[in-house]
Amino acid sequence: MTLRVAVVGSGPAGFYAAGHLLDSDLEVEVDMLERLPTPWGLVRFGVAPDHPKIKAVSRAFERIAAQPGYRFLGGVDVGKDLTHDDLARLYDAVVYAVGAQTDRPLAIPGEDLPGSWAATELVAWYNGHPDYQGLEFDLSVERAVVVGAGNVALDVIRMLALSPEEIRPTDTTDEAIEAILGSGLKEIVLLARRGPAQAAFTTPELKELGELADADVLIDPSELELDPASEASLEHDTNARRNVEVLRGFAARPASGKRRMIRLRFAVSPVAILGEGRVEAIEIVRNRLVAGAGGGVRAEPTGEHETIPCGIVFRSVGYLGVELPGVPFDAGRATIPNDAGRVAGAPGVYCAGWIKRGPSGVIGTNKKDATETVDRLVEDARAGRLHRGDPEATADTVEELLEARGVEHVTYEGWEAIDVEERARGEAQGRPRVKLVTWDDLRSAARRIAAS
């Protein structure tokens, strides 16, 4: 009998899981359920638009989608349009690959003031996510502060600092291009709570900051001085060693009078976001680095405070997984509790990607991760441990149920129609694509082809 598997989420983890399942020697049908009308998750809505080579991983996803047995059901909100119980009835196995859908809070006063944003909101906005259009980032201010020292923080800083020649050929939305180019930003400040040897960003991304046409990178050399434990860590931590080298190079470079300044600060933590009715400043405390548990380095506040005037703050301290109704959830780790992808206490239920291991790693990390999960699933299928609640349920049953509930799903052909339209709009302007950014536009593009 054909094994029917639902993969929930169409980002890298979902696609790698689907691909590995379809490559297995099982007779299998994979339905990929996605809340949005478009696939690829953070490859479409997270990866920075000036990184087209990273976005090109989508070609591998297209090859997976072309395999027999694959079906895309876009515009289907699992938890609402179809519940977990529905999936358990309709499929032999369910793989949750829903990522980490919200941001980690800073938990400091003033965090909710207007002008304090999650970096992920800006990212989703400039990438054309239909739920984030219409957000009004006030970029008329002179100074922005970005909290956190990961790759998302660097993406946000770089995107805000791109020159017209750098941003115009990308698939950044037109609204974001105009807002960024018209912004009054003179300085963007990154706040890292630990030292340069503990920064989470990777060296190629760091180097890019130093190559921007319109922005100088400034660092106070005293903030690059390393304590003995950090110095010692450089021996075995290649990324940290390279980061420190690049940062020292930046610190040695005089400002060349470019339009914008990117200031990188280390060993400082925000303690409050200040302002009357909107962000006017951020108060920070200087940290000292102390040896932490397990050989790590921890930041400890010194009591020495400083206030940085700024008009906008982007909090970029990591993503957080969100609980799905009816699916086990570990609120402490913000992941689905699992053993190598098998969801604890829920036979036939699996997870992959950020909702399985937390928001870490690069796109490729999800391949190994999803492979591990699918290997368990295949093992369980071979051992006869998988059963769909309704043995009669077929691919048609799913469509009938969606129709009965008034859910108009977007098929893969519908997505291809969106894709063709976006690429055509982009081609005229020498851009990879010009995205459709509203639910209505996406749905009507998908419908037009369905009708033709």
Q: Among all chains, which residue has been given the structure tokens 């499929």?
A: 91
Assigned token pair, 142? 């002179």
Sole binder of ligand NAP in the list 14, 148, 275, 414 (CB under 6 A): 148
Closer Cβ to ligand NAP, 105 or 134, answer by number:
105
Closer Cβ to ligand NAP, 75 or 148, answer by number:
148
Q: How many CB atoms sit inside 10 A of residue 380's CB? A: 17
Closer Cβ to ligand NAP, 67 or 360, answer by number:
360
Stretch of 165-173, 187-195, 344-352, 368-376 contacting ligand NAP, by CB under 6 A = 187-195
Question: How many helices (H) does the chain have, and how many strands (E)?
Answer: 17, 18
The residue sitting closest to ligand NAP, measured at its beta carbon, is: 150
Backbone CA torsion sign across 164, 167, 171, 177: negative
Pairing of strands 3-8, 28-34: parallel
Backbone CA torsion sign across 90, 95, 98, 100: positive
Stretch of 165-173, 314-322, 377-385, 410-418 contacting ligand NAP, by CB under 6 A = 314-322
Q: Is 217 a residue that touches ligand NAP (CB under 6 A)? A: no
Chain positions 12 to 51 lying near ligand NAP, rule: CB under 6 A, are none
Q: Is 317 a residue that touches ligand NAP (CB under 6 A)? A: yes
Distance of closest approach, residue 448 Cβ to ligand NAP, in angstroms: 34
Q: How many CB atoms sit inside 10 A of residue 112's CB? A: 8
Of the candidates 154, 123, 315, the one whose C-alpha atom is nearest the C-alpha of residue 247 is 154
Q: Is 150 a residue that touches ligand NAP (CB under 6 A)? A: yes
Assigned token pair, 227? 């304590």
Chain positions 239 to 278 lying near ligand NAP, rule: CB under 6 A, are 269
- How many residues sit close enough to ligand NAP to count as binding (CB under 6 A)? 24
Residues 390, 89 contacting (CB under 8 angstroms): yes
DSSP helix/strand/coil, 349: strand
Sole binder of ligand NAP in the list 81, 155, 419, 421 (CB under 6 A): 155
318 residue type, one letter? G
Distance of closest approach, residue 108 Cβ to ligand NAP, in angstroms: 8
Cα–Cα distance, 115 to 137 (Å, whole number): 7
Closer Cβ to ligand NAP, 93 or 106, answer by number:
106
Distance of closest approach, residue 184 Cβ to ligand NAP, in angstroms: 26
Distance of closest approach, residue 117 Cβ to ligand NAP, in angstroms: 14
Assigned token pair, 72? 């895309």
Chain positions 349 to 408 lying near ligand NAP, rule: CB under 6 A, are 359-362
Cα–Cα distance, 124 to 264 (Å, whole number): 24
Closer Cβ to ligand NAP, 301 or 328, answer by number:
301
Assigned token pair, 252? 């040695």
Positions that interact with ligand NAP (CB under 6 A)? 106, 147-153, 155, 192-194, 198, 200, 205, 269, 316-319, 359-362
